[in-house]
């Protein structure tokens, strides 16, 4: 019955109702999948469904000028989550964390990805609300190796879902976690005893496991929503894509009555290879459904070469579009950087070179961008 309801709502172009009951969720997702003939609205991306066709891989995707009929959006609740004027902050602290429950853990990279990344859904029962762009802290079980007797230190993870969560009911949070694997520098072999404590714990966790969380934390990556027609340029390496998944779901997937996005979201993603692409299925769907509002450019460092013959990094993609990016920044666009700390020097160098070629001072431009709150950085 719920299948049929969901299907008829979708075909009429209305929003899709999703209940909070688990069995209803499953059946509604199934119906959506059948109707949309892809799985991009599913809460997680099963490995076998990742796009591996090479589409989007060798050239950038530029938005087309064809106006698309608006795609059906998913109804979310409780809408009160959109009422607050200030973001929630540090509701739970390391001394008194919230005990949440793992809902699912899915490996979301293909077999040839150099490393493992998991999409983890956590049930917080609506008790640890957050806004898109914030992070949760996770306290892994066990003793702090540096302080015997004390619990492990908290680790931060960017939230990869919207405030409504992957089940659209405001009760879950999703994280995108890369397992920190330690390779012995002499043998080059993995030494699991030195692998990262928290990322291993998270990627090994099972549905039903309890997990201690803190937060939500952070304001720097909040999506400014005062102007729904603004431009947002989002730059990520690896798991740095997490906050952007949240932004983009809010912009293009969810029916949020108080936020109707009509601007431009431009995502630049740097990952190792095709198998390392994260959430590609849902981003590709936005490109199809909202070609005037979404752009998506990918640098595959181990498959593409830059114009100097080196690895294609995300900053090389930025350089390719630097004229447009500078114009958008001059027009007030927000620019976000999230992911590897190591990307920032290369990105700054690229932007400085471009500015100089344009006869501008990068230092002045950067300080203006910071002053105008257009510059958002979260790297780790």
**Which of these ranges, 12-20, 48-56, 152-160, 352-360, lies near ligand FAD under the rule CB under 6 A?**
152-160
Dihedral, CA of residue 163, residue 212, residue 155 and residue 200, to nearest 10? -110
Alpha-carbon distance 216 to 278, whole Å?
23
Nearest residue to ligand FAD by CB is 196
Site for ligand FAD in 230-249 (CB under 6 A): 239, 242
Q: Which of 92, 136, 157, 313 is catalytic?
A: 157
* Residue 45 Cβ vs ligand FAD, minimum distance, rounded to whole Å: 16
Task: Please give the Cα distance from 134 to 87 (Å, whole number).
Answer: 9
Q: Which of 141, 310, 332, 342 binds ligand A2P (CB under 6 A)?
A: 342
Within 125-144, the residues that bind ligand FAD by CB under 6 A are 135
Report, in Å, the least distance between residue 150 CB and ligand FAD. Answer: 15
Active site residue 380: yes
Containing H/E element for 169?
none
Q: Distance (Å, rounded) from C-alpha 363 to C-alpha 368? A: 9
Task: Give yes or no for residue 378 binding ligand FAD (CB under 6 A).
Answer: yes
For the question of residue 321 being annotated catalytic, the response is no
Q: Which of 2, 27, 158, 205 is catalytic?
A: 158
Contact region for ligand A2P (CB under 6 A) — 94-102, 165-173, 283-291, 341-349? 341-349
Q: At what angle do helices 2-11 and 22-36 cross, to 10 degrees?
A: 40
Asked if residues 201 and 141 have their Cβ atoms less than 8 Å apart, the reply is yes
Catalytic residue among 143, 361, 367, 380: 380
Instruction: Decide: 223 and 134 in contact? Cβ < 8 Å.
Output: no
Which residues touch 8 (CB under 8 Å, ≥6 apart)? none
Full strand arrangement of the beta sheet holding 98-107: 155-158, 135-139, 210-217, 98-107, 117-123, 172-178
Exposed e or buried b per residue across 277-290, where buried means at least 16 C-beta atoms within 10 angstroms of its C-beta: bbbbbbbbbbbebb
Footprint (CB under 6 A) of ligand A2P, residues 124-153: none
Q: Among this protein's residues, is 176 annotated catalytic? A: no
Among 51, 301, 350, 374, binds ligand A2P (CB under 6 A): 301
Q: Which of residues 89-108 bind ligand A2P (CB under 6 A)?
A: none
Cα 258 from chain centroid (whole Å): 22
107 binds, among ligand A2P, ligand FAD, none (CB under 5 to 8 A by kind): none
Residues that bind ligand A2P (CB under 6 A): 115, 178, 237-238, 270-272, 276, 301-302, 311, 313-315, 340, 342-343, 346
Residues that bind ligand FAD (CB under 6 A): 135, 155-158, 176-178, 180, 182, 194-200, 239, 242, 378, 380
**Residues labelled catalytic:** 157-158, 338, 378, 380
């Amino acid at each position: 019955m719920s299948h049929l309801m969901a299907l008829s709502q979708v075909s009429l172009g209305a929003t899709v109702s999703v209940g909070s009951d688990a069995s209803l969720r499953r059946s509604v997702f199934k119906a959506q999948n059948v109707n949309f003939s892809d799985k991009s609205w599913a809460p997680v991306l099963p490995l076998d469904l990742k796009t591996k066709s090479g589409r989007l891989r060798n050239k950038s995707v530029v938005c087309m000028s064809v106006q698309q009929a608006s795609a059906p959006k998913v109804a979310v609740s409780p809408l009160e989550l959109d009422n607050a004027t200030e973001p929630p902050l540090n509701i739970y602290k390391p001394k008194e964390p919230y005990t949440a429950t793992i809902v699912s853990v899915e490996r979301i990279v293909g077999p040839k990805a150099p490393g493992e990344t998991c999409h983890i859904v956590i049930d917080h029962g609506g008790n640890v609300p957050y806004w898109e762009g914030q992070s949760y802290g996770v306290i892994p079980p066990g003793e702090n190796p540096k302080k015997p007797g004390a619990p492990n230190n908290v680790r931060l993870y960017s939230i990869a879902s919207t405030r409504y969560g992957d089940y659209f009911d405001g009760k879950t949070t999703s994280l995108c976690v890369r397992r920190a694997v330690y390779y012995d520098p002499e043998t080059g072999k993995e030494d699991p005893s030195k692998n990262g404590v928290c990322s291993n714990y998270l990627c090994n966790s099972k549905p039903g496991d309890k997990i201690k969380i803190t937060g939500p934390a952070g304001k720097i990556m909040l999506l400014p929503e005062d102007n729904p027609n603004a431009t947002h340029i989002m730059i990520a390496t690896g798991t740095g894509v997490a906050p952007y998944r949240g932004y983009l779901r809010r912009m293009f997937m969810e029916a949020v009555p108080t936020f109707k996005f009509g601007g431009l979201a431009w995502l630049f993603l740097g990952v190792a290879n095709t198998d390392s692409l994260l959430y590609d299925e849902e981003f590709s769907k936005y490109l199809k459904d909202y070609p005037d509002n979404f752009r998506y450019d990918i640098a595959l460092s181990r498959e593409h070469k830059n114009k100097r013959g080196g690895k294609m990094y995300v900053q090389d993609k930025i350089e390719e579009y630097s004229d447009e990016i500078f114009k958008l920044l001059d027009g007030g666009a927000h620019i976000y950087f999230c992911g590897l700390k190591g990307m920032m020097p290369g990105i700054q160098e690229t932007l400085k070179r471009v500015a100089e070629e344009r006869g501008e001072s990068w230092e002045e431009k950067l300080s203006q961008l910071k002053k105008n709150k257009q510059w958002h950085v979260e790297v780790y």
